[in-house]
Chains A and B, each alone.
Chain A
Amino acid sequence: MSEGRGKTEYQVIKPINSLKAKIGNGPGFIDPKIIQKAEKIIEDMSDEFVDIAVKEIEKLETLVLEADSGVLQGNLQKIFLISHELKGQGGTFGYPLLTLIGNSLCRFIEKLENNKELLEGDKAVIRAHVDSMKGVFVNNIGGQGGRIEKEILQGLTIAIQKQTNKWTN
């Protein structure tokens, strides 16, 4: 079938729904016990995630320490990728604060990419994020709504604000 929206010609195609033919009759329903069993898998893999996350944060620390030798700019992409991964997995495995810190760091790095060179204050902001991530596991912070969590996030937001203000001044 060909149709047009103004000057744009387009064709609408309805592919055969091969999935529907393989899954039996609906409507969609699955035994809640099956969902519960599946959610338990996530819980069971949580300890494994903590081991992985701690190692990844150690990698971040090494990458940030290299800042002193002036190569942090080249490490930004690596730092972004690790933070992005921790951001994605943190909430899944019961560490939503890690997700929020990871997100904050990723957004800060995206802003940094427009800058020609890294300032000392930029490095300090990155270090503060990595230290906060480490703190999540040192203190086993599994929630996101408590006082400590709010203080951590607020501290990072203020640090970013102060630093980005310096860029424009």
Chain B
Amino acid sequence: MGYTFDKISVMVVDDNPHMRKLTTALLHALGVKDVREAADGADAFKEMKVSAPDLVICDWVMQPIDGIDFVRLIRTAPDSSNPYLPIIMLTGHTELARVQEARDAGVTEFLAKPISAKNIYQRLLNVIENPRPFVKSKAYFGPDRRRKTEDYTGPEKREENKNKEGLSPEEVDKLMEE
């Protein structure tokens, strides 16, 4: 028997109404009934205290609080309702430095646009089946990043990728997972 998503609640945070509508529609189609929406990080942070979602899917570029600041708020604000909340960052930023920034802010999964029903579903599965332990140190609180970039020997360190302007979805996955 497979999974059913009808009992989980997801908050979608995106300042673009069209993308928000799409993400919500895809989640509904995958069986998620309880989808809350917010147009920016500040509203989402307030709303989370009331609705207590099981998962957040957020965009990066938003105002006044962008996706990265929103993730940091969830992870480290004293009044955060759930610092361990799984967060999927949905973004068009696929440059190496940006992916590292998202990971270091405490993002659980990175979903690079273009999006599809299949890759949203795969990210949901990853969050559920491979939950990351959390690491708490003086410098960092968030999902275990496994290996710091300076130790990383995966594809983005290869010579041919040094000057590349964007990572492929596979390279993004590798960076998030390794």
Residues of A whose CB lies within 8 Å of any CB of B are 8-15, 17-20, 22-31, 34-35, 37-39, 41-42, 45, 48-49, 52, 81, 84-85, 87-93, 96, 99, 102-103, 107
Contact = CB atoms under 8 A, between A and B. Distances in A.
Interface string B78-121: 00000010100001110000000000000000000111111001
A94 B92 CA distance: 15
A30 to B, nearest CB: 6
Contacts of A99: 92, 113-114
Contacts of B26: 38, 41-42
A10 B135 CA distance: 7
Contacts of B93: 84
B50 interface: no
A15 B134 contact: yes
Question: How would you classify the secondary structure of chain B's contact residues: helix, strand, loop or mixed?
Answer: loop
A96 B19 CA distance: 16
Contacts of A20: 128-129, 131
Interface stretch (B2-10, B36-44, B67-75): B2-10
B109 to A, nearest CB: 12
B3 A13 contact: no
B18 interface: yes
Interface residues of B, number: 48
Given A22-B54, A45-B25, A13 B134 contact: yes
A30 B3 contact: yes
B48 interface: no
B77 interface: no
B127 interface: yes
Given A45-B21, A49-B18, A88-B113, A23 B136 contact: no
A77 to B, nearest CB: 11
Given A9-B137, A19-B55, A28 B128 contact: yes
A88 B61 CA distance: 11
Contact of B54 (A19, A25, A91, A103): A19
Contact of B18 (A30, A48, A96): A48
Contact of B133 (A12, A18, A38): A12
Contact of B7 (A17, A23, A37): A23
Contact of A34 (B31, B55, B129): B31
Contacts of B21: 45
B114 to A, nearest CB: 3
